[in-house]
Amino acid sequence: MTTLALNNVRPYGEDVTNILIDVTDGVIDAVGENPFDDADEVVDCGGNVLLPGLVDMHVHLREPGREDTETIATGSDAAAKGGFTAVFTMANTSPVIDQPFLAEAVWTKGQEYGKCDVYPVGSISQGLKGEQLTEIGLMSRSGVRMFSDDGKCVNDPQLMRRAIEYAKAHDVVLAQHAEDHRMTEGSVAHEGEQAARLGLRGWPRVAEESIVARDAIMTRDYGGRYHLCHASTEGTVELLRFAKNQGIDVTAEVTPHHLMLTDEKLATYDGLFRVNPPLREARDAEALKQALLDGNVDVVATDHAPHGSEDKCVEFEHAKPGMLGLETSLAVVHRIFVESGEADWRFVAKVMSERPAEILRLEDQGRPINVGEPANLVLVDPQSPWTAHGDEMASKASNTPYEDIEFSARVVGTWLRGTQTYDAKKA
Ligand code: DOR
Ligand code: ZN
């Protein structure tokens, strides 16, 4: 057995301890008061914070089809650098992930590269056309745990009803991108004062909320496990509260950008700030933050959406929607919740690792830092200032909305089943 000691760590930001990893089996072999100095490899972690590896329910790795903007390999690098050990990559690639062999190819590529477990999301409708359902049963048998037409909404209520019934029968998660497309035609920004001032066509809150309300009621009546992608409005938070209070099986995610940024950013007409759903107002961001704190929103997911500069450095209306997220999300969540004193590292572990793993029923992710558990871990230095720059990202793309923003928390190292997938010292 080959061993690795992570000495002088603070699991969940609490008391200092020492961890011994069995690298051969990829599990935590011992946790103890005294440093493990006899291990094959010994790392002094300087009292940094140790968390379970992060799990991102929502990324876009663009392979197959747009390998010029991101690949499973570069996306895995970005994930490892951001502290992630598992990501779920959406089906809106080219071709769309709507058949078992395509889903299997994504998983296999991720495993071959080995930096992060890359779980494929299967599409709900064939070709994301919103017409025919995919073979949810066949794909679930080849290991697909979540289905989504993300990028597009399953608008047709009859198709959604049947998707819910099939997803229930196969016990998989349905993830909805809630956007009534009839209400958002041509819109590029949140409908409100800012869009009016800038002369941009607006996407009203109701375009999201009406779908959330409908889906909650469908889930009440037809069952299944419903997950809402990128909740973005105060009203959505109220609807989630209503649904959860009724015992309806809905979960929801919020992105770091909907927590930290608002449509005030659009004043420069910089295409970097175009995203779906759009950046909203301060009261929406505040409601989402409170909802994450009180559990009405379950998890943080990045919606990491790489785009080339030819699609971002253009007039606002022509910019493609989407922002990078994997390499900045932990720093953003730390800034909003930990630095502000509103929550602790246990909370971060819950919303970025434990809850997503639970929702997707991953048995080897989001686990407690204990003997016998898989060594999926991230080491974080909470006081290591750094500044975000798009051109320094591990991602192939550089469309970060946090350009020139200084953060305090930095990922120092990431381990997947005991193997180091990111090392800040070597980066
Ligand atoms: O901004 C977004 N970009 N929202 C989505 O729903 C899709 C994503 C993408 O694929 O670029
Ligand atoms: Zn989406």
Q: What is the pLDDT of residues 342-357, one digit of tens each?
A: 999 999 999 999 999 9
The widest CA-to-CA distance across the chain, in whole angstroms, is 66
Please tell me the predicted confidence (pLDDT) of residue 26. 98
CA of 46 to the centre of ligand 2 (A): 39
- Please report where in the chains the tokens 């590029």 appear, as a residue: 188
Residue 333: strand, helix, or coil: helix
- Out of 276, 323, 399, give the residue to mutate to test ligand 1, the one with the largest number of ligand atoms within 8 Å of its CB: 276
Residue 427 has pLDDT above 90, yes or no: no
Average pLDDT of the chain to the nearest whole number: 98
| 134-159 average pLDDT score | 98
**Residue 175: pLDDT band with limits 50, 70, 90:** very high
Query: Which bound ligand lies closest to the C-alpha atom of 319?
Result: 1
- Out of 58, 89, 92, 121, give the residue to mutate to test ligand 1, the one with the largest number of ligand atoms within 8 Å of its CB: 92
Three-class DSSP labels, 233-263: CHHHHHHHHHHHHCCCCEEEEECHHHHHCCH
Token pair belonging to 127: 């070709």
CA of 228 to the centre of ligand 2 (A): 9
User: What is the C-alpha end-to-end distance of the chain, expressed in Å?
Assistant: 28
Please tell me the predicted confidence (pLDDT) of residue 117. 99
Residue 315: other Cβ atoms inside 10 A = 9
Residues 6+ apart with CB under 8 A from 224: 164, 165, 167, 168, 174, 249
pLDDT exceeding 90 applies to what percent of the chain? 100
**Residue 262: pLDDT band with limits 50, 70, 90:** very high
Question: Quick one: angle between helices 205-222 and 234-245, nearest 10?
Answer: 10
Token pair belonging to 43: 């790392």
| 379-384 average pLDDT score | 98
Residue 396: strand, helix, or coil: coil
**Residue 211: pLDDT band with limits 50, 70, 90:** very high
| 102-123 average pLDDT score | 98
**Measured distance CA(262)–CA(243) in Å, rounded:** 26
**Measured distance CA(230)–CA(277) in Å, rounded:** 7
CA of 254 to the centre of ligand 2 (A): 11
CA of 100 to the centre of ligand 1 (A): 23
Residues with CB under 6 A from ligand 1: 60, 92, 150-151, 177, 275-276, 303, 305, 321-322
Q: Which of 216, 252, 246 is nearest to 232 (CA)?
A: 252
Residue 3 has pLDDT above 90, yes or no: yes
**Measured distance CA(54)–CA(231) in Å, rounded:** 20
| CB of 135 closer than 8 Å to CB of 99 | yes
Catalytic residues: 303
| CB of 219 closer than 8 Å to CB of 249 | yes
pLDDT digits (tens, 9 = 90+) for 21-59: 999 999 999 999 999 999 999 999 999 999 999 999 999
Q: Which of 91, 85, 54, 61 is nearest to 397 (CA)?
A: 61
Query: Which bound ligand lies closest to the C-alpha atom of 304?
Result: 1
Q: How far is CA 421 from CA 2, 77, 211, 228, in A?
A: 17, 8, 39, 30
Q: Which of 188, 186, 131 is nearest to 154 (CA)?
A: 131
Enumerate residues with CB within 5 Å of ligand 2 (an ion). Answer: 150, 177, 229
Q: Which residues of 175-205 are buried (b: 16+ CB within 10 A; e: fewer)?
A: bbbbbbeebbeebbbbbbebbeebebebbbb
Residue whose CA lies nearest to ligand 1 atom number 3 = 322
In terms of pTM, does the model score above 0.85?
yes
Q: Which atom of ligand 1 is nearest to the CA of 150?
A: 6
Residue 217: other Cβ atoms inside 10 A = 14
Q: Which atom of ligand 1 is nearest to the CA of 229?
A: 6
Query: Which bound ligand lies closest to the C-alpha atom of 60?
Result: 1
pLDDT exceeding 70 applies to what percent of the chain? 100
